[in-house]
Structure 1
Amino acid sequence: MDNIRQRIPTRPVRFLDKLRLHMRDAGLAYTTERTYIHWIKRFILFHQKRHPQEMGAPEVEHFLTHLSEVRDCSVGTQRIVLNALVYLFTRFLNKDLSGLSFTQARRPRRLPVVYSRAEIASILCHLSGAARLRVQLLYGGGLRSAELLSLRVKDLDFDSNNIFVRAGKGNKDRTTILPQGLVPDIRRQIERVRILHEQDVADGVGEVYLPDALARKFPNAAKELAWQYLFPASQVGPCPRTGVVRRHHLHPTALAKQIRRAVKAAGIHKPARAHAFRHSFATHLLESGYDLRTIQELLGHSDISITEIYTHVVNRGSKGVLSPMDTLDPGNSIRESTPVYRIAS
């Protein structure tokens, strides 16, 4: 249940608790909150636990330069750290950070890992049941792993063929494709969820976690089938926010292990990552002729420049671009590596 916001005092005393409360009032997504807190802790420890109120732009510059020159971090990581520290100093402490000067990270963002259609089919052959359905939805809907695992029964609309992604990255809602071929399997999964939920209710642990203030607005919703997770955990456990014993969704590490085993069994020599199915979804749509704007909306990217990275990994062969190697006439290839000299008579 590590994606549930931990409870903090209404009037916090500790510095980080005050910062967390400020982030929640500002409406930051919980994943952003955790990332920012992680890097702010690293920043404080780097400066021998000095209080941020005593620091400013020179310390920020020193830390960002250290990440680039010593830690060899990527451009993306350095940008995330910069955003976290800008939030800390400008929005929380009201301190000016203008005119920052630091060494820019040199390691560029790498091209995404993309599986071919044949590789995805091979991976699916080594999965079954709910594990297979999870990977099919990752690829078929272009979902992030956190978005997949957070799906609830009510988020699947069979009439409009839509998957409703609630509070995705950036705390934004969106819709994406519900693959028609998966509908029978999804309905069977919902039936399994119903049976498990009825048993949980009988055991007194049938209330699912509800975000924000929904538990107060709709006190009976936590026991309704519509709000149950599509992929529930195998065990119940105490909620870190309230201490109530309940069943949460499957943990991301379980999903990652299943994917690693399937990729290895399929004999695929590419990194086994859940996010690779999302990259494959976007790349294959682009190969099929769909425009970038449509793909951007399905992925939930805030900027189309992020989506444009898939143009660099698309299968150029399907777009009519042939390598000059493929146009060589094998009958005219050079058969000898050294020239032949003839003596004049």
Structure 2
Amino acid sequence: MQKGRSEILTPSTAGTKLTEHAVPKIIAAHGEAGRWCWEEYFGGRIRNANTRKTYLHAVRNFLHWCDTEGVPLQEISPGMVGRYFDLHPGSTPTKKLHMSAIRGLFDVLVQRHVMILNPALSVRTERYSVTEGKTPEITVEQSRQLLKSIELQSAIDFRDRAIISMLVYTAARVGAVAKLRLGDLVDEGNHLMIKFREKGGKDRSIPARISLREELDEYLVMLPINGSSKDDPVFRSAVGRTGLLTESPMSAIDICRMVKRRLKAAGLPLSASPHSFRSCTATDLLEQGISLEDVQYLLGHSDSRVTRLYDRRQRKITRNIVERISV
């Protein structure tokens, strides 16, 4: 897109043109009251770091667009907000997320009497309905193939197998797996409990099946001796291509990249991700007759409708139906 007064920044250009901590001048123009609202919203009300980053990008992008249009904060109207989203290049879910971020900031500005009304309150985005999740699918057979493809020659191999097994057998989110500390692995005698810190501040304990516990034991004995306190990370990064482990934790991005490498080495579709294992596990359990409520509890969903998005049984039924068309 060529530069113009109504240009909407992409995430990359927004990140380079707009610093993370500076208060946008359209807000700073209202002095300490504006700065207070900005800090209250992003520094006080939004506690999740990922949400804060996403909301910051959305709000900065919108305020930058208003600034290029030459419209001060007090003159932003519902029509302007609607026109902005008419120009917005994102998908419907992205637009809804960005609208939520913008409405939230305006709510704070109204509450602190910087603005009289919230101009985004009455603006509607497109309707969006989801009956099946968009997480790329990986089947039970493919998951087995992936685990079998790992040749156990170094500590990295034992680590990667343990991570993938944990994603499969606990249905935990990749972020929760990356946050695990040694103190989160609690030996209760006849079984091992794994304590996950999930998004939304939820703490969940999931028992490790026997095979997962064995794989964890085989991996943990390879950790550096000086990195064995309860606050040390379970899954460690590697020293280049040496096959040696460091004392630093793997990030969620590190785990995603590892899964992609392992998928490629196993000759499996690269569209799958760590989140695909949650869908695989949910569908597998539901096919075996496990109740939706039990699967919902395992996945940590507060609403069963979210759990249904992970159920890919209907997709298989659809495939069977279309194959029977006689044309």
Tell me the TM-score normalised to structure 1 length.
0.67
> RCO (CA 8 Å, sep 6+): is it higher in 1 or 2?
1
C-alpha distance in structure 2 between counterparts of 1:102 and 1:297, whole Å:
33
Quote the residue 2:170 is aligned against: 141
1:62 aligned to which of 64, 67, 83: 83
Match for 2:126 among 104, 109, 121?
A: 104
Q: Deviation at 1:17?
A: 8.9
2:217 maps to what in 1? 187
Displacement of 1:90 in angstroms is 0.9
Deviations 1:261-319 (A, max 9, x none): 222232223503121112212121211212222222222223221111234445757xx
Mapped contact 2:167–2:173 kept (Cα < 8 A): yes
Q: Which of 295-304 and 102-111 deviates more?
A: 102-111
Matched, 1:170 2:170: no
Counterparts of residues 29-108 of structure 1 (less than 5 Å): 29-48=48-67, 52=73, 55-67=76-88, 71=89, 73-94=90-111, 95-97=117-119, 100-104=122-126
Does the aligned pair in 2 maintain the 1:113–1:270 contact within 8 Å? no
Q: Distance in 1 between matches of 2:315 and 2:128?
A: 28
User: Which residue, out of 136, 142, 150, partners 1:113?
Assistant: 136
Note the residue ranges of structure 2 that are not aligned, 5 or more in a row. Answer: 1-19, 23-31, 112-116, 151-156, 240-245
Shift of 1:173: 2.1
CA 1:229–1:16 in 2, change beyond 3 Å: closer, same or farther?
farther
2:208 counterpart letter in structure 1: L
Shift of 1:65: 2.7
Q: CA deviation at 1:51?
A: 6.3
Taking the aligned partners of 1:253 and 1:99, their CA distance within structure 2 comes to: 35
Moved more, 42-51 or 79-88: 42-51
**Please, what TM-score do these two structures have when normalized by structure 2?**
0.70
Secondary structure in structure 1 of the residue aligned to 2:54? helix
**Within 2, Cα distance between the matches of 1:287 and 1:274?**
21
Distance across 1 between alignment mates of 2:281 and 2:67? 45
**CA RMSD in angstroms, aligned pairs only:** 3.7
In structure 1, list runs of 5 or more residues that go unmatched.
1-6, 199-224, 236-245, 338-345
Quick check: 1:283–1:314 contact (8 Å CA) kept in 2? no
Q: Letter of the 1:101 partner, please give it.
A: V
Tell me the matched-pair count: 277
- Select the structure of larger CA radius of gyration: 1
What SS class does the counterpart of residue 48 from structure 1 fall into?
A: helix
One-letter identity of the residue aligned with 1:118: E
Q: CA deviation at 1:35?
A: 1.5
Q: Over residues 31-88 of structure 1, what are the superposed CA-to-partner deviations in whole Å (9 max), with x where a residue is unaligned?
A: 2111111211222223236665653533332233322xxx1x3332222112211211
